[in-house]
Amino acid sequence: MAKKKTNTKKITENKFFENARLFAEAILIATIIRSFLFEPFHIPSGSMKDTLLEGDFIIVSKYTYGYSRYSFPFGIAPIKNRIWEGEGPERGDVIVFRLPSNPRINYIKRLIGLPGDKVQMQNGRLFINEQAVPKEADGFYLDKDKGLVERYIETLPNGKKYKVLDYVPNFPSDNTPIFEVPSDHYFFMGDNRDNSQDSRFLTKVGFVPKRNLVGKARFIFMSSEGSLLKFWEWHRSVRGSRVFSRIK
């Protein structure tokens, strides 16, 4: 009888350690994927409308620009700047980065200025290196709180096209000084130009160091106007047309 109890205890212990090992392996695999390949992010604000909406869940590729300390959980990797960065980001990429003034916070914006560029806004028009970026009217965006908002398509010098919103003509941030982007830094702006804290605000965001880049936004894998925990409301809250759409 005692022998049977001993065997049962041993089987229980073996099962416990086996489950613990499987759990540890799952955590390790998830950490490797999150650090080196892909990471999910939730969009908490409307600063990138209508490219990204509040309630979008996106996938970001970590390998596109190489790796820095911020590619890893808690920023623990002893990497001074970046490694394996390849050709680096391009104008027009939508990028997640760590806020320079508080690296614990993730921001997502569109890359506008590369190192050495001169960036300025004049009467709502974007200038890069003293050249006006082409801006064409593209109808209206329907904001459920603000109504119809003017929408435009901008075309960057590399040919990248994207949509921007203009809620308020002659908004204070529609006119800026010239920002000269330092070496190893980037200049970011939100597509919702009148409702975005970005590199135009030097004390809040400013120029973003290369080491602060986390990864490139690739696609939306889920989008909801409400809490996903309320699964019984998904038929009303989930934006089906946005699910698995590519971020441009």
Q: What is the percent of the chain where pLDDT is above 70?
A: 84
Q: Could you tell me if 92 and 160 are in contact, meaning their C-beta atoms sit under 8 angstroms apart?
A: yes
Find the catalytic residue in 109, 196, 199, 216: 109
Distance (Å, whole) CA 212 – CA 19: 37
The DSSP string of 180-219 is: EPPTTEEEEE-SBTTS--STTSTTTT-SEEGGGEEEEEEE
Write down the pLDDT at residue 234.
83
pLDDT tens digits, 99-136: 999 999 999 999 999 999 999 999 999 999 999 999 99
Give the CATH number of the domain where residue 44 resides: 2.10.109.10
Does the pLDDT value for residue 162 go beyond 60?
yes
Instruction: Using alpha carbons, select from 202, 87, 179 the residue that is nearest to residue 128.
Output: 179
- pLDDT confidence band for 170 (50 / 70 / 90): confident
Does the pLDDT value for residue 215 go beyond 70?
yes
Write down the pLDDT at residue 232.
81
Does the pLDDT value for residue 4 go beyond 60?
no
Write down the pLDDT at residue 164.
97
Structural domain of 189: 2-246
Does the pLDDT value for residue 154 go beyond 70?
yes
CB-based contacts of 94: which residues, under 8 Å, 6+ apart?
Answer: 48, 51, 52, 108, 109, 110, 111, 216, 217, 247, 248
Active site residue 237: no
Does the pLDDT value for residue 69 go beyond 70?
yes
Does the pLDDT value for residue 140 go beyond 70?
yes
- pLDDT confidence band for 16 (50 / 70 / 90): low
Write down the pLDDT at residue 171.
85
Stretch 65-85: mean pLDDT, rounded? 81
**Structure tokens of 62?**
């970590």
Distances (CA, A) of 19 to 23, 24, 28, 66, 158: 6, 9, 14, 34, 52
Write down the pLDDT at residue 193.
94
Active site residue 47: yes
Q: Could you tell me if 117 and 126 are in contact, meaning their C-beta atoms sit under 8 angstroms apart?
A: no
Distances (CA, A) of 126 to 48, 60, 164, 179, 207: 16, 27, 11, 12, 17
Write down the pLDDT at residue 36.
61
Identify the residue with better confidence: 84 or 148: 148
> Which pTM was predicted?
0.86
Does the pLDDT value for residue 180 go beyond 80?
yes
- pLDDT confidence band for 1 (50 / 70 / 90): low
Distance (Å, whole) CA 183 – CA 156: 20
Counted domains in the chain: 1
- The total of other beta-carbon atoms located within 10 Å of residue 59's CB is 19
Residue 147: is it exposed, middle or buried by C-beta count within 10 angstroms (0-12/13-18/19+)?
exposed
